[in-house]
Chains A and B, each alone.
Chain A
Amino acid sequence: MIRPALSISATMFGLLAFLSPAQAKVGSCDEPILLGTTISETGPFSTLTDNWKAMTENFFDEINKQGGVNVASCGKKIPVKIVIYDDQSNPSTAVSLYEKMASVDNVDFFVGPDWTSLGLPVPTVAERHKIPIVAANVATPSAYVRGLKYMWGTPYPVVPLWSQRYFEMLAQADPKPRTIFFVTHDNPVMKGITDFWAPKAEEQGIKVVGKETFPADAKDFSAIILKIRAARPDIVYIASFDNVSAPLVQQMRQQRVKAMGVHHTMLTGSLARQVGKDIEGMTGELAWYPGVGGKHSELVGRVLERSKVDMFESIFTMARIGSYLVMVQAIEKAGAVDREKVREALTNGTFESPPGPIVFDDKGFPTSNGAYTIQIQNGKVVVVWPQQTGKAVWPAPSWN
């Protein structure tokens, strides 16, 4: 029975062998700033993170090309290194990896992760180790009301601002839409959007004539479409992730759904490719689009081009880049590679990003990230509100 003891000890020491040698001391001016993050490169969420690893590496490479981050207390620019692991879309794996980055890799700060299921467990680790974390695509408000002092997030867009510009556009639309039907994907963020914007629509004088929810793996939408056809709304508002709604859009076309406008909260290149020409005339939201300009838009544009990431395809990218931008600016604002100073800089801070300023409230929730309204016109993506590169065609062509 001595042998089991030896075996267990051997296993444990084997596990301890995963410890890489300790990294830089926090706050040193001679070592690069070390950031840590995980990306869902495998697992169910990997469909949303195409090429993000390359994009991340390119982003910090671009920053380092300019010398790095300007740290006042060191009197110079300091380059940035980032440690990237794959969290496998799994919360448990993510938590372990952030522990590793905190206690073994000794990173200075955290950026990421994404998604609600990771964005709720991971920040408790950051809180424990008192490491500021700027999460990326964590949009559920419930993640921000837990009293955590070291967490911020940069989801694009946030639920209260998601369709703000779209409804602004509708207010000016002529002929006036009078009724709206909400079709929602059973997902916290999408349901949050419907719950927020349905009353807003009513306030604007557009009556809500239907609300239907569908599960993520729904294939046959006949039931919902029959209800839409019965209600004859002026607007069909689809609050859904892109891929799960491809059959919905296809079947809406096949079953001859007619409306003045069909809006989608996540109109992406992936959806457009799957649906083909049927997507013509639909409106959607986009966090940002090169050509729209904005602060640091050149940097971001270069990064996207180098890593071949298309904002229209990979709609969550802006949030990721946002978290990197915020972190870099926070360090500059703090003037030192010091966790507490950076925390102060982040609290209630305002930071620049291409779509507009990111303003954190006292919970770390960004209050100012709205989206641009786009429309597919002749197969192309056109930003229609605010009127940047195009004008909306109303009522939408091919749906009327």
Chain B
Amino acid sequence: MPLDILAQIAIGGVLIGGLYALFAFGLSLIYGVARILNFSHGTLLAIAGVLASILYGALGASPLALVAIITGLALAFFLFGWGFHDLLLAPLKRRNHFEASVGTVLTTVGALIVIGDVAATLAGPRPRNIPLRSDVIEIGDVLIPVSQAWMLAGIALLTVVLQLVLTRSWYGRAVRAVTQDHVGATICGVRSRAIHGITFGLGTALAAIAGVLYAMVYPVDPYTGFSLTVKAFTIIVLGGIGNLVGALAAGLFLGVAEAFTAFFWAPEWAPALSITLLLIILVAFPNGFGNTRKA
């Protein structure tokens, strides 16, 4: 098997793996900190992509517009996520454990339906994307599209930034404290509810960024959300809850594994890989692996 073919497949896998990782960051943070399974996560991502596509067309198709869109949407979704958490999800925590879980499921599923339908009604259900004509970097016989290379660089940078925030800033320390021991952190003066709200907002903002980047490469419509959510769950379990670098690694691994499966076996079986891996990992390590919580 010639090396350049293997390399091409691997490159394709890495590029899509980076995207998978990005989906998962936001969810990993939200689940890791606030322990909320946000079923509408994927839909938010899709909506961000749809909005980005519309704005890109409206603002004129330039790289500057793109940066403005990413920043604007990230901020808007941050505020939306924070508000969503504080208004709808935080009050549920005061109830007993059963009602809190059930309430979260119903609220996020309801949100999923509402957001999808409103978006489909307002923006139309047709898939949209951000069409970018792109040059290609050639290394021997291996071709790397420039836009995707930038995207991957952006994702890597984002991971580093997030990791620094989590390890160095006061917010990051508070987040890790709350993740490891909620009550203890509260006693030490950390305002857990605010931390949960900010983290939910941050996770939602990450979903928005992921949505914009996703739309630069693949079409999105308001209904594509839920299957993305399932994939994101897979990645955060593989990479470890709350572990961003782990999620990146898991995403990349998954992307490359799927690419190789598609080539050597058959493309239609590639999606089965992530699910099978998820099941195997969960069964071999019932508490997930690489996670930061004590068992």
Contact = CB atoms under 8 A, between A and B. Distances in A.
A47 B15 contact: no
Given A219-B218, A246-B129, A254 B120 contact: no
A50 interface: yes
A278 interface: yes
B42 to A, nearest CB: 12
Contacts of B262: 218, 220, 222-224
Given A220-B258, A223-B262, A214 B267 contact: yes
Contacts of B136: 254-256
A273 B128 CA distance: 8
A154 B184 CA distance: 68
Contact of A278 (B8, B120, B133): B133
A218 B219 contact: no
A247 interface: yes
B3 to A, nearest CB: 13
Interface centre among B117, B125, B259, B271, by most chain A C-beta atoms within 10 angstroms, is B125
Interface centre among A221, A222, A224, A226, by most chain B C-beta atoms within 10 angstroms, is A222
Contacts of A256: 136, 143
Contact of B267 (A224, A250, A277): A224
B127 A274 contact: yes
Contact of A47 (B12, B125, B270): B125
Contact of A254 (B134, B218, B219, B263): B134
Interface in A231-279: 243, 246-247, 250-251, 254-256, 270, 273-278
Given A46-B120, A223-B262, A270 B126 contact: yes
Contacts of A246: 127, 129, 218-219
Contacts of B125: 42, 46-47, 50
Given A46-B120, A223-B9, A274 B131 contact: yes
Contacts of A226: 5, 8-9, 263
Contacts of B266: 213
B124 interface: yes
A interface, by DSSP: helix, strand, loop or mixed?
helix
A254 B271 contact: no
A170 to B, nearest CB: 27
A213 B267 contact: yes
Interface string A185-222: 01000000000000000000000000011110111111
Given A214-B267, A226-B5, A220 B255 contact: yes
A50 B124 contact: yes
A243 B131 CA distance: 13
Given A186-B268, A226-B8, A243-B127, A217 B227 contact: yes
A44 interface: yes
B13 interface: yes
Contact of B129 (A42, A212, A217, A274): A274
Interface in A28-60: 42-44, 46-47, 50
Contacts of B134: 254
B39 interface: no
B126 A50 contact: yes
A275 B219 CA distance: 10
B13 A220 contact: yes
Interface in B199-242: 217-219, 221, 223, 227
B263 to A, nearest CB: 4
A274 B219 contact: yes
Nearest to A244: B219
Nearest to B256: A220
Given A215-B268, A254-B134, A220 B259 contact: yes
Interface residues of A, number: 35
B16 interface: yes
Contacts of A251: 145
Contact of A223 (B126, B131, B221, B259): B259
Contacts of A220: 12-13, 15-16, 255, 258-259, 262
A237 B129 CA distance: 23
Interface centre among B131, B145, B255, B271, by most chain A C-beta atoms within 10 angstroms, is B131
A256 B12 CA distance: 14
Nearest to B264: A223
Contacts of A274: 127-129, 131, 219
Interface string B251-282: 00001001100110011101100000000000
A222 B9 contact: yes
A46 B128 CA distance: 14
Given A46-B120, A247-B217, A222 B263 contact: yes
Contacts of B271: 215, 217
A50 B124 CA distance: 8
A47 B8 contact: no
Contacts of B16: 219-220
Given A223-B267, A274-B129, A247 B218 contact: yes
Interface centre among A43, A213, A243, by most chain B C-beta atoms within 10 angstroms, is A243
A222 B12 contact: yes
Contacts of B131: 273-276
Nearest to A47: B125
Nearest to A227: B263
B129 A223 contact: no
A43 B226 CA distance: 13
A251 B259 CA distance: 14
Nearest to A247: B218
Contacts of B217: 219, 247, 250
Contacts of A42: 117, 120, 125
Nearest to B141: A229
B123 to A, nearest CB: 12
12 contacts: A43-B223, A213-B267, A218-B262, A220-B12, A220-B15, A220-B16, A222-B12, A223-B267, A226-B263, A246-B129, A255-B143, A276-B133
Q: Which 3 A-B pairs have CB atoms at the shortest separation, nearest pair first?
A: A222-B12, A276-B131, A223-B263
Interface of A: 42-44, 46-47, 50, 186, 212-215, 217-224, 226, 243, 246-247, 250-251, 254-256, 270, 273-278
